[in-house]
Structure 1
């Protein structure tokens, strides 16, 4: 049977038109989506949104928009858009279930970038780890530890735990607990502590400093020494004050006791002059 070109063209023409229409929808749709994404990016950057968040939101919007374009293009060639949407939805659900931990960290990363409980360069304790924030990403946060190691903390661990930001405020209170022996001169020790605090050059005048008797402990009389410093000076001031207190107390004969316990034995026979009990000498 000879090939009937006219019959083939008459049969194929409607399908070719649909294919060309689908290609046009895909190409034009992709072009429109890119223009729209660029405009959205510029708008978010003008609003001074975080660059990481801008990139993430742009990618999410682009993905959803291209899914709509592809479904529309497939609809032109006779593919059921309902079936296509169901397939995409099922695929998204399967991916979501397999990556639920990563998606949890991703959502936490968006929250961190939006609400900014800490910023790059802050000294923080997050997810049980302590260090300087080096980078905040969508999935994880990178800390530089005090011994110069990178610690990567998943963002879902950050948002589900207590966040302590030591750098958030410009000033910080120094809290020292100093114990002296019960036989030491309490008022003399208090005067020495007040003098050391008054002579600390990094101490802030306001709020006022305080040296108070805090507690009568098992082995010591405890003082609470409190004054304020700039946040950046806190650690160095803490170490210097501890050193100066120890050296000054040694110089003035003020005892800093170690934990000790006095044990009283009830019912034992009294000891004789040589240290043996009466029962032992008989």
Structure 2
């Protein structure tokens, strides 16, 4: 037994003598290691709690704005902006808990911002354009717009792009800088819209009778507004027909329903009255010549 104890003591003594530097470093810096561990745990706690608080604040702000009946597109933009700003503040707080000095951090952020700004110039212009969209409000949520060669119903205005939903249910994300740099056609801004028909009739048609038939079609549809009054008049004399302009006014939400129904009704009424709608024709005359 005494021999075994002597062997164990010799082993421990040998191990301690083999790594004296490591043992001494751990002993001398135990307080520092504890402090670093506490700082790391504190930073993780700040990140965890901070992200929860940011989510709650952002959601609360969105609910508040929606309660004030602020436009949905604007609400989403402000909510995203506040959320990302608060997340940056949480990350800075966590880094400062790890011992990173604020002055150095600000200098690094400034330098990084300059480099990122040059690299992501398009993204920054999208952000600036998004701010302008929110300020000047050329459209709002649920408006049907045409912009940058696409058209659709506005769903949300994000920080970098505007989300549209097309008539065939496709999502289109248009960069905000394109939205602000291109002409915007807002179909839903006004409560009423004018439908522009161009009806071609043959040169043999009685124009007064034709205009009476067209007026009767418009008067029979209660969805067509009496004020402003519809306009019916000769628009152009083309190669194969006389173009008659028919311009009724309708409520914006009923535009396409009235468009389709009225066009069909015009065709049916003209057929009943024997008024021909011609199509382009080419007459070829052959002259016989003697050789």
TM-score by length of 2: 0.69
User: 1:197 pairs with 218, 222, 230, which one?
Assistant: 218
Flag the 1:70–1:171 CA change in 2: closer, same or farther, 3 A: same
Query: Does the 8 A contact of 2:77 with 2:157 survive in 1?
Result: no
* Paired residues of 2:190 and 2:252 also in contact (CA < 8 A): yes
- Note the residue ranges of structure 1 that are not aligned, 5 or more in a row: 1-7, 9-18, 265-270
**Aligned ranges 1:1-282 → 2 under 5 Å:** 48=68, 50-59=74-83, 61-62=85-86, 85-260=106-281, 276=288, 280-282=289-291
Q: 1:71, 1:85 within 8 Å by CA — same for their partners in 2?
A: no
Gaps of 5+ in 2: 1-27, 29-35
Normalised by the size of structure 1, how large is the TM-score? 0.70
Task: Measure the CA separation in 2 of the matches of 1:71 and 1:40.
Answer: 22
User: Quick check: 2:228–2:249 contact (8 Å CA) kept in 1?
Assistant: yes
| SS of alignment partner, residue 53 of structure 1 | helix
* Residue 135 of structure 1: how far off its partner (Å): 2.8
Aligned-residue offset at 1:243:
1.0
CA distance in 1, matches of 2:281, 2:111: 68
More helix by share: 2
Cα distance in 2 for partners of 1:239, 1:174 equals: 11
**For the Cα contact (< 8 Å) 1:45–1:54, is it kept in 2?**
no
**What RMSD, in angstroms, separates the aligned Cα atoms of the two structures?**
4.3
How far has the Cα of 1:87 moved from its partner?
Answer: 2.9
The alignment partner of 1:219 has SS state of: coil
